[in-house]
Amino acid sequence: MSGTGALRKTVTRRGALLLALAVPGAVAAQAAPLVRVEVWQDPTCGCCEGWVRHMRAAGFDLAVRKVADVRPMKAANGVPEALWSCHTAMVDGYVVEGHVPAADLRRLLAERPQARGLSAPGMPPSSSGMDIPGTPYEVVLFGTPGGERTWARH
């Protein structure tokens, strides 16, 4: 076999090996289940829809429940009234109140603190789904043994 033919055969074998190693990983990554987020929101709230779009774009699987009154969901899940926002979500045992960014939720799910959940209290103008830049806000971790604390500043 000539030098060029041997090189071509080596490159082809190497490429086949790399492809064989890469494809199972790619298939597994595609098959990984999305994290399910259940959201309760007012049917006419546009900013809630903005947050749903933000979360879906970040790779979460959202089930949206449009209800006339979200307050019973907040109360049933122990969200302090001072932390209420326009929509309430549940994900993997945690409550997510309001416009919490996807990155903060990912961190919560990775760290798994002993807590009830996260809140972006009120409707911060700069938050995900509101998207009016320029107003800093905090995301609060609540329902912890030590009380509420700042989880993130944006």
Phi, psi of 62 (to 5 degrees): -105, 135
Write out the chain's pLDDT in tens, 154 residues: 555 444 444 444 444 433 344 444 444 344 456 899 999 999 998 899 999 999 999 999 999 999 999 999 999 999 999 999 999 999 999 999 999 999 999 999 999 999 999 999 999 999 999 989 999 999 999 999 999 999 999 9
CA distances to 13, 20, 116 from 140, rounded to whole Å, are 54, 45, 11
Give 32-74 pLDDT, tens digit per residue.
568 999 999 999 988 999 999 999 999 999 999 999 999 999 9
**Cα torsion through 66, 71, 77, 83, rounded to 10:** 110
CA distances to 11, 18, 100 from 122, rounded to whole Å, are 59, 51, 11
Q: What pTM did the predictor assign?
A: 0.78
Q: Tokens at residue 53, please?
A: 């779009």
Q: Tokens at residue 37, please?
A: 């987020």
- At residue 27, the pLDDT reads 40
DSSP 17: H
First-last CA distance in the chain: 64
Q: How far is C-alpha 65 from the chain's CA centre?
A: 17
